[in-house]
Amino acid sequence: MSAGAKICGLSTPETVKAALDGGAAFLGFVFFEKSPRNLTPQTAARLVEPVRGRGVKTVAVTVDPDDALIDRLMATMRPDLIQVHGKETPSRVREIAVRAGVGVVKAFSVSSSADVDQASAFDGVAEHLMFDAKPVEGSALPGGTGARFDWGLLSGRRFSRPHFLAGGLDPWNVAEAITVSGTPFVDVSSGVERGPGLKDPVLISAFLDAVKRA
């Protein structure tokens, strides 16, 4: 069975359609002001309208979100999952899940096996765990930078729910990444862009085709 794929940082109807047509399992929309992919909840709500009822999960991607942002997202975009990519604790992840009434994806920045080990405190609290590459020092972004880590760090790791591999994936290396890591879900952002924040429908299709063949 092939891995499921998440296309993250979508911002136009054309790229949402490419992700849907290509068979993406998850569509991610970013709410973080420093990101070139940042959206308002209202814009995201318009983009996800054609997605509803299609069996694809929508994900609101945030960094240390406050309650006001969670409430705004649930009132407008109504995502299926909320992704958190900051310094959230297990108790905060639980609070967000209860407040929003949806599952939480907790992302971790990884450069060593110890970084993977820290996820155990969140296993069973978060709906899914995500392992992303640790950004280079001084980066304003916690993810979506194109950095990658040793995929073998995830080989043989098992969690209570399917987890994601992210960081530096693209149409040319994703099959190898799936083979080496054994990860059930993969996440891509900058690897399907022709410029910062500019998703390319052709690259999205190529990535999803590569995942299917892996």
Which residues are the active-site residues?
Answer: 8, 132
SS3 (DSSP) at 176: helix
Any residues with CB less than 8 A from the CB of 45 and at least 6 apart, and which? 76, 77, 78
Any residues with CB less than 8 A from the CB of 126 and at least 6 apart, and which? 93, 97, 103, 104, 105, 106, 161
Which two structure tokens, joined as six digits, stand for 27? 């569509």
Q: What angle do CA 136, 108, 122 make, to 5 degrees?
A: 160
Distance CA 52, CA 56 (A): 8
SS3 (DSSP) at 151: helix
Is 53 within 8 Å of 95 (Cβ atoms)? no
DSSP summary character for residue 31: -
- The structure tokens 């083979």 sit at 179
In 3D, which of 140, 118, 139 has the Cα closest to residue 129?
A: 118
